[in-house]
Structure 1
Amino acid sequence: MKIPFKLNTTLFSFFIFTISFLYAFTQEKAMPIFKDGEAQIVEAFNTPDKWIRHDLFVETEFDTDGDGKLDRMHVSVTRPFQTDTEGLKLPVIYVSSPYFAGVAQGGNELFWNVKHEIGEQVKEPVRSEVKRVGKRPIISNSHIKKWIPRGYIVVHSSSPGTGLSQGSPTVGGQNESLAPKAVIDWLCGRAKGYTEPYGNKTVEAFWSTGKVGMTGTSYNGTIPLAAATTGVDGLEAIIPIAPNTSYYHYYRSNGLVRSPGGYLGEDIDVLYDFIHSGGEEPIIPNSNTKINDAKIPKAYKNKRAYSNEVIRDTEMKNGMDRITGDYNNFWAGRDYLNHMAPMKAALLMSHGFNDWNVMPEHSYRIYKKAREMGIPSQIYYHQFGHGGPPPITMMNRWFTRYLHGIENGVENDAKAWVVREDDKMDEPTAYKEYPNPNASPATLYLSSGGLSAGKLSTKKQKKQGKETLVDNYNFSGADLAKSTNSKNRLLYVTPILKEDLHISGVPQITIKLASSKPAANLSIWLVSLPWNEGKVKITDNIITRGWADPQNYKSLTESKPLKPGKFYELTFNLQPDDQVIKAGQQIGLMIFSSDQEFTLHPKPGTELTVDLDGTSLTLPVVGGVESFNTSLGN
């Protein structure tokens, strides 16, 4: 067969290239899409089988495992494939945690024994080992299905001393703030990332816009705040959910050694053991490695042993102080409120008013300070327990505004959102601020009869005298609140409410009391009566609670043994609340000593005597004293 023309291969190649280029140019590239101020799911991004996943190790500015080298954090990245094929750059949702690689296994032996006298030294708990889970490169799958289809990259990291991240866990120490800062610096091109924990081959975040948002729940919610307190550039917004913002407030209360709800006997060293899943590499400390200015004379089997001695058995042991429960430099360094000056990231807080693990004060104290600093801030409160994120719409608007830069007006939205008692989590009620701006103090006074039920009213009755309770941890707070008569608590109640009563803010108790011993627990519950049994809403019985050590009547930083029989006055806050107490209920102030669920359990028998004339409760009532009296039909 005769070919009619000679093929010009150069011209043909040019033709094919041109057609391919024009085809590619005319194809619509995948881009984030926004509607009503929210990032929408883009089908081109919603392709999990094509997502690019890889891990790396980011170099920090600290060495906390004693090997003389800067610690590196294990980081994993999940991103749409278009960040490779189309050169797409996207903002980052970043989540960090000490839990990703597994936690310690065991029972009550891992916790401190609470059955002893206040101020008594007891044997330490059994030290546990973490059962490691997970393998490279996947650290976690959390959040990826939520955010990647909406036009974000999701990054995870294990916190220092956990998983494959180097360093020591410090439970609130400085390195837990600087570790996420280093990751953000890497995402913004300011820090080095490596393909291996000890290698020299670098990797860059070429796909990042340099705009980072962080979120997480509980400890995972603490880390975004920790990062924000460094003032790191590029961290534009954080959404901490039920974050622990002060380890003193988590393990102590107004000078009292108090456990977090559900974990009786836990303390900061127990949490250290619970999360310490890293540090398996061998180590021989160099001559400059020190513990409390004393050179280490021995080599360690591995970095775990080094961290245990330096952090848990030295720093924590010397600083945590289960004897007095006082606030000291150790606790001040782990209180993020003290480190907020550099913070600038927009803040959306989320918390449950009935979270008795990480209590609602943790979010409120940070939100309040952020508002005072002029940081864009909102707070979302619900009526349930630990955890519970804001509605996806609220989170979406927050990240859309501050990471994508879409002017959706979120900064002009209501500052406070409260899920009312009978509403769904995604149907919060908007308020101008929290506490409710219409709330003002209503001071309530006690009348005698607390062994059964004394009175609680806005009218102060003179010469009500003194009443005494006997401590006995064997009775739970619920048992005491339900008792018609009890020598183990004092109870003072309002008349039956004729109308609903709205409380919003931080109740405060002033109490004048004497103890039969040099030390005693003091527990305060505000309850709604009658006590409802069975399957009831969490808001039905307990309004709020508080605990204090009478030995700290002058200062949180100094305990002074009580002189038996001498009266002392102390004032402290109960946990923040926003709750509508229904008509037909009574508000009860219950005063008792040892709280079975939260405090130490000293031998029963200590007597607390309360001077009723020197004791009062201040409630933040929407509408103030007038509304309080109206709710009683006055």
Structure 2
Amino acid sequence: MRGIGRLLSAAAALLPVVAIAVVGGPGPASAAAAPSIVVSDGVTQPVFGYADAVRERLFIDSTFDSDRDGLRDIIAFDVIRPRATLDGLKVPVIMDASPYYSTLCRGNEGECKADLDGDGLLEKWPLFYDNYFVPRGYAVILLDMVGTNKSTGCPTTNANEDNLSAKQAINWLNGRAVARNAAGQAVTADWHNGKSAMIGKSYDGSLAMATAVTGVKGLTTVVPISGPTEYYDYVRSNGVITRGNSYVAFLANAVTNPERRAYCQPTRDRIAAEDGDEHGDYTAFWNERSYVKKVPNMTASVLLYHGLNDDNVRPDHFSKFWYALAENNIPRKLWLSQEGHVDPFDSRRAVWVSTLHRWFDFWLHGVANGIMDEPRVDIERAADVWETHADWPVPGKADTEVFLQPGAGGAGGLTLVPAAQPATASFQDNPTQSQNTMILNPDAVQPNRLAFLSAPLTAPLHISGTPVVQLRVTADQTDTNLGAILVDYGTAERVNHRASGEGIITLETQDCWGESSPTDDGCYRQTQKRVATSDVELVTKGIQDAQNRQSIRTAVPLVPGQAYNYSFPMLPEDYVFAPGHRIGVIIVGSYPQYSSQADQSRANLNVALKTSNIVLPVVGGTAAAHAAGL
């Protein structure tokens, strides 16, 4: 089957037109020769079967050789489509490209692909997309990323080979590549209407964005769920290594089928040799693993979802991508939840399925349902309490400097504990200090942190965007780290995203979303929010290697005793501090619960007060900050 991936030279045909039967619409129904989708109440209806749907497994030659064996890798994918496509129905595609279908598997219930009878076709399809959307006139493709499951080659953890895997199928759907079945026969997508979507959580979400930023024709929309957008930011933060050594190679191993891990060892060795773990700086290694800078190539619209308390794929991944989408006027919507690394199907199921349904109907079937006229952003303010906004950051946000003050005597601001009048405040870096030690007991003096507190707020204070810490610091060593934590001190019931389940509890009861076959049902375990009353909430945090103060590409050692200016972002947030609560800013050196390698210099650090501050993205700006008592 090698060599089957030559591009077709024929000119692209015009996109086919799908007939739409509108139930209850004006005028008589037209008698169409071919079957058509049915739209009622503004959405496509489940008028096609699921148990009798056409199922295929296809293979396509890629344009790359990830394992460097001299042969192009083969990408495998499974297709399910309405049987009516055999009679002329033209349908769009919803694709979930993933490295996980035979290893970690997908969804809250860990569903794997399964060929139960050994005929080379799937009987069990992970997730609900097939059960729900195939009866409504969609095809679903589950694609095995290079080096995983039925695809050949070796995973490269978001390098070009991973990133281009799904593009091969998009090209095939649009007549620009050849796919074959297991018998070696060429198969065409003559049932396709020319429009495709990609969707997926985490790694799958990154593959959706990676495909979109190639600008491939025929990819109409993407729905990335909690996916990395800058792989440097997944394992680094401003020069600090935040995950273990050789993590990129480690993840490549985790998604490789166990029987192929020894074979792919040379590929992982090459990755580990190039990742720059010895310094943590940004190098060319990360360029192909960056999607933000490639957003100008995009033509696909985006429905983006992220948990504001996701400590796996942290929120700076969504924010940087979102800012780039806005700069390039890409059609877009955004959901931000209070949970951690959780799929919206498990945090707001009914509303998510409805939104996804209308989104795909609009972008893939051309159903005029008004979804793009609705507010652009949904934000979960508290457990299951959602609000909508015209955009994000919330309009009216203004970056507002709040100074880190030495002591009492002035109104507002954030005051050092204990209140005093020094020009500088000193502490020692402690690479073993726990996060709880950093943020608890803010009124107590501790040798390894500085705590700055506001007075109890007199009005709500809403931040929306990316806070920035600006410090002037002197160290007595040539290297150190700097960390900052923004804290809400005040009792409230909150989503408990730090407990098991990252903010949700999985129940024993089920509900069903879509049709079923004898081997695959559309029923999934329900969830509820995990909440707890707490006195402290870590709102957001940031970290920087002091040697990377000028650039993440170049480390410059410190001159002991010399003061330097530092400016680094915290993770983005959308948060409302309640009246009566106190805002805290904690300054530390190493931050071991944020980084895998705490700096061992144990430097003594002096922070210049009055000139150091935190820039908060306050909705309402300075006036709102002053009204709250800052």
Under TM normalisation by the shorter chain, which class is it?
0.7 to 0.9
The 1:583/1:89 distance shift into structure 2, 3 A limit, reads same
State the partner residue of 2:298: 343
| Residue 416 (str. 1) matches residue 377 (str. 2) | yes
Q: 1-side partners of 2:140 and 2:324: how far apart?
A: 29
Q: 2-side partners of 1:473 and 1:606: how far apart?
A: 10
Q: Deviation at 1:462?
A: 12
| Residue 403 (str. 1) matches residue 364 (str. 2) | yes
The 1:532/1:266 distance shift into structure 2, 3 A limit, reads farther
State the partner residue of 2:97: 96
Q: 2-side partners of 1:366 and 1:442: how far apart?
A: 23
The 1:377/1:462 distance shift into structure 2, 3 A limit, reads farther
| Residue 160 (str. 1) matches residue 168 (str. 2) | no
Q: Deviation at 1:278?
A: 7.7
- TM-score scaled by length of structure 1: 0.79
Q: Deviation at 1:219?
A: 0.5
Q: 2-side partners of 1:149 and 1:476: how far apart?
A: 52
Q: Deviation at 1:348?
A: 1.1
State the partner residue of 2:217: 233
Q: 2:464 aligns with which of 496, 504, 523?
A: 504
The 1:550/1:423 distance shift into structure 2, 3 A limit, reads same
Q: Which runs of 5+ in 1 are unaligned?
A: 1-24, 105-131, 281-303
- Structure 1 stretch displaced more, 541-550 or 316-325: 316-325
State the partner residue of 1:204: 188
- TM-score scaled by length of structure 2: 0.80
| CA displacement 1:7-62 (0-9 Å, x = unmatched) | xxxxxxxxxxxxxxxxxx9999864232454333x1x32x4322222211122222
State the partner residue of 2:203: 219
Q: 1-side partners of 2:544 and 2:368: how far apart?
A: 46
State the partner residue of 2:570: 574
| CA displacement 1:353-373 (0-9 Å, x = unmatched) | 111111111112112212221
CA contact (8 A) 1:443 1:458 kept: no
Fraction of identical pairs, as percent: 30
Q: Deviation at 1:224?
A: 0.7
Which secondary structure state, in structure 1, belongs to the residue aligned with residue 75 of structure 2?
A: strand
| CA displacement 1:147-197 (0-9 Å, x = unmatched) | 22322111101101111111221111112222111111112222111113x
Q: 2-side partners of 1:565 and 1:382: how far apart?
A: 44
State the partner residue of 1:19: none
After TM superposition, list the pairs within 5 Å mapping 1:428-443 onto structure 2: 428-443=386-401
State the partner residue of 1:630: 627
Q: Deviation at 1:455?
A: 9.6
Q: 1:308 aligns with which of 256, 265, 279?
A: 265
| CA displacement 1:570-593 (0-9 Å, x = unmatched) | 111111111111112111001112
| Residue 457 (str. 1) matches residue 409 (str. 2) | no
The CA RMSD measured in Å over matched residues stands at 3.0
| Residue 245 (str. 1) matches residue 206 (str. 2) | no
State the partner residue of 1:615: 612
Which secondary structure state, in structure 2, belongs to the residue aligned with residue 536 of structure 1?
A: strand
Q: 2-side partners of 1:370 and 1:88: how far apart?
A: 34
Which secondary structure state, in structure 1, belongs to the residue aligned with residue 317 of structure 2?
A: helix
Q: Which runs of 5+ in 2 are unaligned?
A: 1-29, 106-111, 345-350, 497-530
CA contact (8 A) 1:515 1:609 kept: yes
| CA displacement 1:416-440 (0-9 Å, x = unmatched) | 221222434xxx4221211111111
CA contact (8 A) 1:447 1:464 kept: no
| Residue 141 (str. 1) matches residue 138 (str. 2) | no
Aligned residues: 541
CA contact (8 A) 1:508 1:617 kept: yes
Q: State the one-letter code of the partner of 1:141.
A: P
| Residue 564 (str. 1) matches residue 577 (str. 2) | no
State the partner residue of 1:467: 425
Which secondary structure state, in structure 2, belongs to the residue aligned with residue 613 of structure 1?
A: coil
Q: 1-side partners of 2:226 and 2:181: how far apart?
A: 34
Q: Deviation at 1:236?
A: 0.4
Q: 2-side partners of 1:418 and 1:539: how far apart?
A: 23
Q: 1-side partners of 2:337 and 2:432: how far apart?
A: 32
- Structure 1 stretch displaced more, 324-333 or 26-35: 26-35
The 1:147/1:225 distance shift into structure 2, 3 A limit, reads same
CA contact (8 A) 1:57 1:194 kept: yes
State the partner residue of 1:16: none
Q: 2-side partners of 1:312 and 1:586: how far apart?
A: 48
After TM superposition, list the pairs within 5 Å mapping 1:81-120 onto structure 2: 81-84=83-86, 86-103=87-104
The 1:94/1:406 distance shift into structure 2, 3 A limit, reads same
Q: State the one-letter code of the partner of 2:626.
A: N
| Residue 392 (str. 1) matches residue 349 (str. 2) | no
Q: 2:274 aligns with which of 302, 319, 323?
A: 319
| CA displacement 1:187-246 (0-9 Å, x = unmatched) | 2222111113xx632122232212111111010111110111111111100010111001
State the partner residue of 1:297: none
| CA displacement 1:427-473 (0-9 Å, x = unmatched) | x42212111111112211112369xxx99708999974112222334
Q: Deviation at 1:540?
A: 5.7
Q: State the one-letter code of the partner of 1:275.
A: V
Q: Deviation at 1:498?
A: 2.0
Q: State the one-letter code of the partner of 1:559.
A: A
Q: 2-side partners of 1:337 and 1:27: how far apart?
A: 44
CA contact (8 A) 1:436 1:504 kept: yes
Q: Deviation at 1:266?
A: 7.1
CA contact (8 A) 1:241 1:349 kept: yes
After TM superposition, list the pairs within 5 Å mapping 1:477-626 onto structure 2: 477-483=435-441, 484-530=444-490, 536=532, 541-599=537-595, 600-603=597-600, 605-626=602-623
Q: Deviation at 1:626?
A: 1.1
State the partner residue of 2:169: 183
Q: Rg bigger for which structure?
A: 1
The 1:598/1:458 distance shift into structure 2, 3 A limit, reads closer
Q: State the one-letter code of the partner of 2:172.
A: W
